[in-house]
Amino acid sequence: MLLKIKELRASVKDTEILKGINLKVNRGEVHAIMGPNGSGKSTLANLLSGREGYEATGGEVLFDGKNLLDMSTEERACQGLFLAFQYPVEIPGVSIANFLKSAVNDIRAYHGLSKIDAMEFLTLAKDKMKMLDMDSKFLRRSVNDGFSGGEKKRNEVFQLSMLNPRLAVLDETDSGLDIDALKIVANGVNRFHTKENGVVLITHYQRLLDYIAPDFVHVLVKGRIVESGGKELALHLEKHGYDWAIKSKKRVN
Amino acid sequence: MKDHNRAKSLYLSRIASEFDRLRDDLKKQRLLNGTRDTAMARFAEIGFPTKRHEKWKHTDIRSLFSCQFETAEAVSLKKEAIDPFLLLGDEENFVVCVNGRFDRKLSRISEEIIACSLAHAAETRADLVDTHLAKHLGFQNSAFVALNTAFATDGIFIYVPDHTIVEKPIHLLHLSDNERATAYPRHLFIMGRNSRIQLIESYHSLRKSPYLNNCASEIILGNNARVEHLKIQSEDEQAFHIAARQVCQSRGSLYSSVAIDLGGSLSRNDLNVLLDAEGIETNLYGFYLARGSQLVDNHTFIDHAKPHCQSAELYKGVLSDHAVGVFSGKVLVRKDAQKTKAFQQNQTLLLSQDAKINSKPHLKIFADDVKCSHGATVGELDEEALFYMRTRGISEENAHAMLRYAFAQDVLAHIGNKTARQRVEEIVMERFKEHVN
């Protein structure tokens, strides 16, 4: 099992946001976690990435059998966890090429591998950029600096495809995208996804799921998963809204 | 306090007796003859600045008095001694100053320019030297310039004739090889009309020692002259580096300065630019990196005296440990200087609780049709950016180094010569890696 979240409770500034979450993700699976604003979706993503200020107060998270919450942020990344940000950070003065090369090399160093050959890196990068319909000039631009919303999200998926993690958690990757950009981003995620890795999509809306078909859909409300099912659950939510799930008596946990 | 006073009076009396000792030798030189006594007398009147002086409010020079400084002797070095400090390999012209004295044997200069010992130029190019030397950089209000004027026996003289474009940069390599002595390099650079030159001025030390370099330079740009001036101050971390530079620009000229401060226990740079004609452009960039108990002080003064000129100034620095930074940038826009564009910014990263920056950007505007802005920021590394990098697997150490480097890039990118820029980038990156806690 790739990811196993057991009875996870978490607080932000002493307020409990996650109130006992259970989730299992196997290799080859795509999971969608849907929920209204304030349900704890982003808290879950932040907690998995190790962001400061998000404190697990109970339960556990196993990543490939190892205790994820004991690892530093960079160690999680080196172990193969990737978080695509809802709001990717702008880093003026650091080129995408330099940023990604450092990431690739630091991850390789963690696994005792030598640095990537410069030409090999460039060939790989150009290949992935083509797939995402990105100009290779992007490599020389500063990370997300002055990017449009769509460019930022595309850059997240570009990084995903370059780092090739075992588990990708995408936090509201569809927000702020027009339909064309959404298709490109979804295509990038689909190309990334194989039998060997897992994807967790965190989203408010169903429309991303039109392009990335989930195997499982979970509904997160007030810090708990209140409903789990197949992709038809997403359609049901789209029709009936989250009120339906909140009122639903069928509590999974 | 008493100890300090005693140290100070001892130091002052040593300077006076040193001047008496050298007086006869100094008088034999044509250089600065007739000016030395006046400068020494002026120094005796004003004495060393204390923290009560506005321009020295944040820079305590008393640590200087605990060292017993003699005037540095001439030293002859072997060619191999300078090799590690040459920046551009075979591509550069270079002149070498050891302990403030021009060393002709170690220097290599192509013929289209005149670059020689200032003492020599005072004899051979008396017309130029007499017109300019000590005429632009005043010693009335500066103890250190007064001392330089009284004691300087040599330095570098550069004259680029009208319409001459010097293709290769000239590296002005300064080496200190002395114990607790004071060197007084004195420079005069005269750029003819439509001339063009790249200067790389650097300071290094061959010994770990608390010496003092008291430098004074005057740079005169003719009409439409273009000067790119990179200075790298990489003195020993026990050393004192106190430098004053006066730049005088004529119509249509461009002066672009990048000042990198890395070394020195105490370093102080006074950089004054006079824009005394129309259509002048001035760019002052600075980057300072200080650690331990280093103090780095940059005082700049941009004097917009005539209309239709523009100046841009950006000084950035990274301070760690107990290091102290001082930035004072004054931009004066005189009544006549309509249509002036002036931009000024100082940004400092503090990497520890105990590091400190005193930043004072200030504009004084007496013209009414101008575009001016100034500002200062003090901050820490962007935590969000650090986190973002770490989620991609980048180690904390590398993430810190990359962000500091990016911060420095805004300044380093202005180093026109590519090889020199890469060399400076390497040095800065090395220092950043050392800096990580």
CATH number at residue A134: 3.40.50.300
Distances (CA, A) of A161 to A127, B223, B246: 10, 56, 55
Query: Length of chain A, please?
Result: 253
pLDDT of residue B89: 74
Residue A233: inside a domain: yes
Which residues 108-167 in chain A show a CB within 8 A of chain B? Answer: 110, 142, 159, 163
Is residue A249 predicted with pLDDT exceeding 90? no
C-alpha B68/C-alpha B70 separation (Å) is 7
Percentage of residues in chain A with pLDDT exceeding 70?
98
For testing contact with chain B, the best of A51, A68, A94, A111 (most B CBs within 10 A): A94
CB contact under 8 Å between A98 and B402, yes or no, is yes
Q: How confident is the model at residue B23 (pLDDT cuts 50, 70, 90)?
A: confident
Question: Which range, A71-80, B79-88, B422-431, is most confident?
Answer: A71-80
- Domain tally for chain A? 1
User: Is a pLDDT exceeding 60 seen at residue B93?
Assistant: yes
Lowest mean pLDDT among A6-15, A194-203, B62-71, B118-127: B62-71
pLDDT number for residue A253: 41
Taking alpha carbons only, the member of A129, A250, A132 closest to residue A188 is: A132
The shortest C-alpha distance from B430 to chain A (Å) reads 16
Compute the average pLDDT of residues B229-247: 97
CA-based R_g, chain B, Å: 21
Which among B387, B392, B395 has the least Cβ separation from residue A51? B387
Out of A192-196, B83-87, B362-366, which region has the weakest mean confidence (pLDDT)?
B83-87
Interface touch A93/B410, C-beta < 8 Å: yes
Interface test with B, best of A91, A116, A144 (most B CBs within 10 A): A91
In a domain, A253, yes or no: no
| φ, ψ (nearest 5 deg) of residue A185 | -60, -45
- Residue A245 is predicted with a pLDDT of 74
Domain that holds residue A17: 3-247
- Name, in order, each residue with C-beta under 8 angstroms of B242's C-beta and a sequence gap of 6 or more: B144, B212, B213, B214, B215, B266, B267, B268
A99 Cβ under 8 Å from any chain B Cβ: yes
Query: CB-based contact (8 Å) between B395 and chain A?
Result: yes
Nearest residue in chain B measured CA to CA from A156: B392
Of B88-92, B115-119, B227-231, the least confident: B88-92
Distances (CA, A) of A128 to A158, A169, B164, B253: 7, 19, 50, 48
How many angstroms away from the CA of A107 is the closest CA of chain B? 6
**Which candidate, B318, B331, B233, B328, places its Cα nearest to that of B275?**
B331
Closest to B181 measured CA to CA, from B47, B18, B59, B296: B18
Q: What is the pLDDT of residues B287-319, one digit of tens each?
A: 999 999 999 999 999 999 999 999 999 999 999
**Of A229-233, B85-89, B182-186, B227-231, minimum mean pLDDT range:** B85-89
In the predicted model, what is the mean pLDDT of chain A? 92
Is the predicted pLDDT of residue A251 greater than 60, yes or no? no
pLDDT reported for residue A242: 80
CA distance A174 to A125: 23
Residue B89 DSSP class: G
Cross-strand pairs, B285: B258, B314
Q: Considering the domain boundaries, does residue A141 fall inside one?
A: yes
Decide: residue A149, CB within 10 A, 0-12 exposed, 13-18 middle, 19+ buried. Answer: middle
Categorize the per-residue pLDDT at B1 as very low, low, confident or very high, splitting at 50, 70 and 90.
low
Element (H, E) at B40: helix B36-46
Q: Which of A126, A128, A140 is nearest to A95 (CA)?
A: A140
Specify the pLDDT at position B321: 95
pLDDT of residue B68: 66
**Does the structure show a pLDDT above 70 at A252?**
no
Q: Is residue A198 part of a domain?
A: yes
Q: What is the ipTM of this complex?
A: 0.95
The Cα B308–Cα B296 span in angstroms is 33
Question: Cα-flanking dihedrals φ and ψ of residue B96, to 5°?
Answer: -120, 130
Which pLDDT tens digit goes with each residue over A45-64?
999 999 999 999 999 999 99
Helices B418-435 and B396-412: angle between axes, nearest 10 degrees: 150
Domain presence at residue A207: yes
For residue A252, being part of any structural domain is answered with no
Give residue-wise pLDDT tens across range B196-215: 999 999 999 999 989 999 99
Residue A92 with chain B: CB contacts under 8 Å: 406
Strands, sheet with A224-229, edge to edge from the N-terminal-most edge strand: A81-84, A167-171, A198-203, A30-34, A216-221, A224-229
Question: Mean pLDDT of all residues in chain B?
Answer: 93
Print the SS3 string covering A91-153: EEEEEHHHHHHHHHHHHHHHCCCCCCCHHHHHHHHHHHHHHCCCCHHHHHCEECCCCCHHHHH
Q: How is residue B172 written in tokens? A: 């002005």
Within-domain flag for A243: yes
Q: Do B402 and A52 touch (CB under 8 A)?
A: no
A62 within a domain of the structure (yes/no): yes
Give the pLDDT confidence of B111-154 residue by residue, as tens digits.
767 899 999 999 999 999 999 999 999 999 999 999 999 999 99
Q: What are B367-422's pLDDT values in tens digits?
A: 999 999 999 999 988 999 999 999 999 999 999 989 998 999 999 999 999 999 99
pLDDT of residue A248 exceeding 70: no
pLDDT of residue B76: 87
Percent of chain A exceeding pLDDT 90 equals 77
- Give me B1's structure tokens: 């306090």
**pLDDT band at B2; cut points 50, 70, 90:** low
* Whether the Cβ atoms of residue B173 and residue B185 lie closer than 8 Å to each other: no
